[in-house]
Chains A and B, each alone.
Chain A
Amino acid sequence: MNSMVQAGSMGVPFVAVRGLMGTDILKNRPDLQVITNPFHPEEKVVVAQPIRPDVAVFHALKADRWGNTLTPGLRDDLMMARAARRVVVTAEEIRDKELTIRDGVDNTFLPAIDVDVVVHVPWGAHPCACGLLYNLDDAHLREYIEAAQEEKKFKNYLERYVGGVKNHQEYLQRVGVINPLRAKKINV
């Protein structure tokens, strides 16, 4: 998967993947093909197409108005952003001052050139965690899991927290995160 997204980020037409030969995955993935290694004809190798999302979405600790972005932790965000045709960033905080790679440290820095759209969304990861800013909302997660056990109950959950609220602000009021600005600032 990594290599397929990497291939997307590099603009190459396909990528050779090790580790799938002889597995049942090949039986269920007609989009993966087995070819002869052109450099070593005695070897067979699996090739896969690049993954190029139409839109990739990231939730960030902070972004500036031009798209420079810090996403929490070190992960594959930059690679996915480069593989995608469009990139949306939602951020806990928007800076008027330009962010640079030096602001990154232990986080991932997405440069403005890789970001198309920026949205200011405090508590945008709720009920998931966001870096060191806030943790998982354990109570809400349990409520979600309980509701998701049955289709009908999950419809009610969606009505209560998604369809039945006008926007993210109303959602926060409904889940009880009353003051979105109480998210602590962090030093990076």
Chain B
Amino acid sequence: MKEKLTSLEEAARLVKDGYLLGLTSSLENAPMAFLRELVRLGSKNLRVAALTGGSLNVDLLIGAGAVAEYEACHHSLGGYGPAPNFQRALRGGSLKMKDNT
């Protein structure tokens, strides 16, 4: 079998601007270090599909201005209430949301 170990930065570079990013996490086991690395690399215009919904994971990317389009069934910070960056971006029209109930 092929060894697949690499650095966080190299892994984050696999995500090009405009790519569709798939996530299944919520406030549980979100790949936050990876997503912060994406922000650090200046990722732009990402499309995100979050199964079934998103949480802090996508909210961070939205707050960093990295997301152009977002498809999910729901988005919140769970017991912590609404996700502020998501709500502001949606109301401000800077985020295209595809409701996928």
By a beta-carbon cutoff of 8 Å, the part of chain A in contact with chain B is 1-2, 4-5, 19-20, 25, 28-29, 31, 51-60, 65-67, 71-73, 75-77, 79-80, 83-84, 86, 88, 90, 94, 98, 112, 115-121, 123-131, 136, 141-142, 144-145, 148-149, 151, 154, 157-158, 161-163, 167-168, 171
Contacts and interface: CB of A to CB of B under 8 A. Distances in A.
Residue among A57, A162, A168 with max Cβ neighbours from chain B (10 Å): A57
Interface string B32-69: 11111101100000000101100111010001100000
Given A117-B11, A148-B85, A128 B25 contact: yes
B33 A65 contact: no
Interface of B: 1-11, 14-16, 19-37, 39-40, 49, 51-52, 55-57, 59, 63-64, 71-73, 77, 80-81, 83-85, 88, 98-101
B31 A162 contact: no
Given A57-B35, A130-B29, 10 more contacts: A29-B98, A57-B31, A73-B29, A80-B24, A83-B22, A129-B28, A145-B80, A148-B85, A162-B64, A171-B36
Residue among B34, B71, B88 with max Cβ neighbours from chain A (10 Å): B34
Interface of A is mostly: mixed
A149 B63 CA distance: 10
A161 B100 CA distance: 32
A58 B85 CA distance: 22
Contacts of A84: 22
Contacts of A117: 4, 6, 10-11, 14
A88 B100 CA distance: 24
A49 B48 CA distance: 15
A141 B33 contact: no
Given A59-B34, A80-B51, A162-B64, A52 B8 contact: no
Contacts of A94: 5
20 contacts: A53-B22, A54-B20, A57-B21, A57-B35, A59-B31, A66-B4, A83-B22, A90-B34, A121-B8, A121-B33, A124-B31, A129-B27, A129-B28, A131-B28, A141-B56, A142-B80, A145-B80, A151-B88, A168-B36, A168-B37
Contacts of B34: 57, 59, 88, 90, 119, 121, 124
